[in-house]
Amino acid sequence: MNDLRVAAVVMRSGFGEIERNLARMEHFAGQAAEQGVDVVCFPEMNITGYALKEEVAKYAESVPGPSANEVRHMASRHNVAILAGLAEKTEGNGIAITQVVALPDGSMSTYRKLHLSLGEQAFFQAGCDIPLFRYGEAMFGVQLCYDAHFPELSSIMALKGAEVIFMPHASPPPESADEKKNRWLRYLAARAYDNSVFVVACNQTGDGGAGIRFAGVALALDPRGEIIAETSGAEERMIVAELKSDLLRKTRETRMGFFLAHRRPELYSGLVAPMDESLLERTHSSNCFFEAKPPEGAAKARTVSDS
User: Domain coordinates of the chain in residue numbers?
Assistant: 4-305
The pTM for the full model equals 0.90
Q: Mean pLDDT for the chain? A: 91
**Cβ pair 165, 154 in contact under 8 A:** yes
**For residue 40, what are the β-bridge partners?**
7, 82
**For residue 86, what are the β-bridge partners?**
98
Phi, psi dihedral angles at 113 (to 5 degrees): -55, 130
| Residues 50-60 pLDDT 10s | 999 999 999 99
Q: Judge whether residue 286 has pLDDT over 70.
A: no
Q: So what's the pLDDT on residue 255?
A: 82
How does DSSP assign 141-180, residue by residue?
EE--GGGGG-HHHHHHHHHTT-SEEEEEE----SS-HHHH
| Residues 218-267 pLDDT 10s | 999 999 999 999 999 999 999 999 999 999 999 999 988 899 999 999 99
Q: CATH assignment of 4-305, given 3.40.50.300, 3.60.110.10, 1.20.1730.10, 3.40.50.880?
A: 3.60.110.10
Q: How far apart are CA 222 and CA 199, in angstroms?
A: 7
| Residues 100-142 pLDDT 10s | 999 999 999 999 999 999 999 999 999 999 999 999 999 999 9
| Residues 67-88 pLDDT 10s | 999 999 999 999 999 999 999 9
Question: Residue 287's pLDDT band (boundaries 50, 70, 90)?
Answer: very low
Give Cβ neighbours of residue 101 (< 8 Å, ≥ 6 apart).
81, 82, 83, 108, 109, 110, 111, 133, 142, 300, 301
How does DSSP assign 15-51, residue by residue?
TT-HHHHHHHHHHHHHHHHHTT-SEEEPPTTTTT---
